[in-house]
Amino acid sequence: MIQAYFIDILFKIGCILVIGAIDILNVKGNTPENPTMRIVSIILLTMSFSTFLHGQAVGINLSEYLKPRKDTLVYNSIYDSFHAKALQETVKLVYRKVSIGSETAYYISNVTDSDGSGAQSASFLGSAMIFRNDSVWLAPLTFNESPNQLTQKNFNYVLPPNLTFSKPFELAKLKWNGFVKEVFIKDYQFEDLSVGDTILKGCLKLNLLVYDRLKEPYHTTVWLSLDHGIVKWIRATGREEVLDLSRL
């Protein structure tokens, strides 16, 4: 959301101005000279702004970023294997449709995955999506099962149009080979992202937590653009997938 991006910038400017104002008042003798009080004042003021802005009180509308834009998307991937480093691969993904009653659901899968049985691992959501007004209803996908088997009752996760959260937000519980992976949005920021020779302004960066059989979560990161959707994904394995803008 562009509004949140500019608020994020104003927050940073505001913190700088507040700290400068405290310094000026100290010089003029209008506030106590006690350095401890000065430090406490700065911390409390910064935390109050941080709770409002970076505590995710400023909502985001993920439907703006997740709606299909192109039928086929090409990603350039870099990954490591047991035998080699920095291997490269080109991946073609497509948005596929499935009818759910009178509505249309979308999911992302590899262009060769015609029945969508491997769609769970094709995107960070691991879910099928129904767009209702500005909300997104999600149905977590099961590995090795086709999304064509989904029904209305499977869409039980909701991304509201003004998503805010003060703790990690649960995206999905994904069934995979007999166990469950839980995916959460930890927090988010807005930042510029370099993709080849192009700089995409104000991308939404989602920091995710993925829990499976381990006690400690995996950390993954996704960048989304209002113009292009998912533009970069760093998986828990370290594999990077970046949208090839020259193919659009």
Mean pLDDT across the chain: 84
How buried is residue 128: exposed, middle or buried, by Cβ count under 10 Å (0-12/13-18/19+)?
A: buried
Distance CA 24, CA 37 (A): 15
The pLDDT value given to residue 34: 56
The pLDDT value given to residue 11: 47
Q: Are 222 and 124 in contact (CB under 8 A)?
A: yes
Q: Is 133 helix (H, G, I), strand (E, B) or coil?
A: coil
- First-to-last alpha carbon distance for the chain, in angstroms, is 23
Position 153 pLDDT exceeds 60: yes
Residue 212: which pLDDT band, with cuts at 50, 70 and 90? confident
Q: How many CB atoms lie within 10 A of CB 64?
A: 16
pLDDT above 90 coverage of the chain, percent: 70
Position 229 pLDDT exceeds 60: yes
Distance CA 188, CA 224 (A): 11
Position 72 pLDDT exceeds 80: yes
Q: Model-level pTM greater than 0.85?
A: no
Residue 215: which pLDDT band, with cuts at 50, 70 and 90? confident
Which of 234 and 57 is assigned the larger pLDDT? 234
Mean pLDDT across 20-25? 50
